[in-house]
Amino acid sequence: MTIETELKRGEMFYEGKAKQLFATSDPDLIIAYFKDDATAFNAKKRGSIEGKGAVNNRVSQLFFGLLESEGIRTHFVKRLNEREMLCRRLQIIPVEVVIRNIVAGSMAKRLGRVEGEVLSRPVVEWYYKSDALDDPLINDDHAEVFGWATAQELARLRELAHKINRVLSNFLNHRDIILVDAKFEFGRYHDEILLGDEICPDTCRFWDKATRAKLDKDRFRRDLGGVEQAYQEVLQRVSR
């Protein structure tokens, strides 16, 4: 691992479905290690996607850099190596933000809509970040009453989600990819709210612009095959 000599890697303090997080000698910085483990349906389906961790690390780096260039602050500091990223340590807001441009996945099932229906405008949804509860859909009142986020924070999350969606959609459109939907996680960093987690085929739905072929984790969820190739295809296109 290549880290500045003055920055020491500490103990792992969190392991999720896709990453391990390590403390460092700087209390404001952590190291995220990207795994090849793959899960779906809140870990009810498990497997592995060869090279996924390296792809997601690189794709996330590119997207975070793009967003930073557009004035959107993120937790990203630098990519350390193939599978590790140095990040600012956030107090994660336990409200996952999903923004949808096209009906797919749980929206299609919940509302009885046809997958592929283009929405007249992007739709923002909140989900309570809880693996034990399968990340249930919530509303503003839930988030405020249970102390997960304030009304002001929710307004900021909505504003940021729309801005990120516009930046990413435009960028991907020029690379013949449709951003169907995306999940974002945010956290408090001193007096700011920063974008955290990762942005990659694990957390977004990407469709080929011409064929609408899936280029994301839905290939794993739905046993479509060609999972590794889809992830590599996304990396190749966003690296242009």
- Secondary structure of 83-125 in HEC code, one letter for each residue: CEEEEECCEECCEEEEEEEECCHHHHHHHCCCCCCEEEEEEEE
Task: Compute how many other C-beta atoms are within 10 angstroms of the C-beta atom of residue 115.
Answer: 14
The bridge status of strand 137-138 relative to strand 118-128 is antiparallel
> Which residues does residue 55 pair with via DSSP β-bridges, in sequence order?
none
Please, what sign has the CA dihedral across residues 55, 227, 210, 185? Answer: negative
Residue 2, pLDDT score: 47
- Output b/e per residue, 213-232; b: 16+ Cβ within 10 A: ebbbbbbbbeeeeebbebbb
Closest CA to 51 of 61, 43, 59, 41: 59
Instruction: Enter the pTM of the model.
Output: 0.94
- Distance (Å, whole) CA 240 – CA 236: 7
**In sequence order, what are the residues at sequence separation of 6 or more whose Cβ sits closer than 8 angstroms to the Cβ of residue 229?**
none
Residue 6, pLDDT score: 73
Domains of the chain: 9-90 (3.30.200.20), 92-226 (3.30.470.20)
Residue ranges for the chain with pLDDT beneath 70: 1-5, 42-43
Pairs from 189-193 (Cβ < 8 Å, separation ≥ 24): 189/75, 189/88, 189/89, 189/90, 189/91, 192/73, 193/93, 193/153, 193/156, 193/157, 193/160
Residue 1, pLDDT score: 42
- Output b/e per residue, 63-82; b: 16+ Cβ within 10 A: bbebbeeeeeebbbeebbee
Residue 216, pLDDT score: 98
Residue type, 76: F
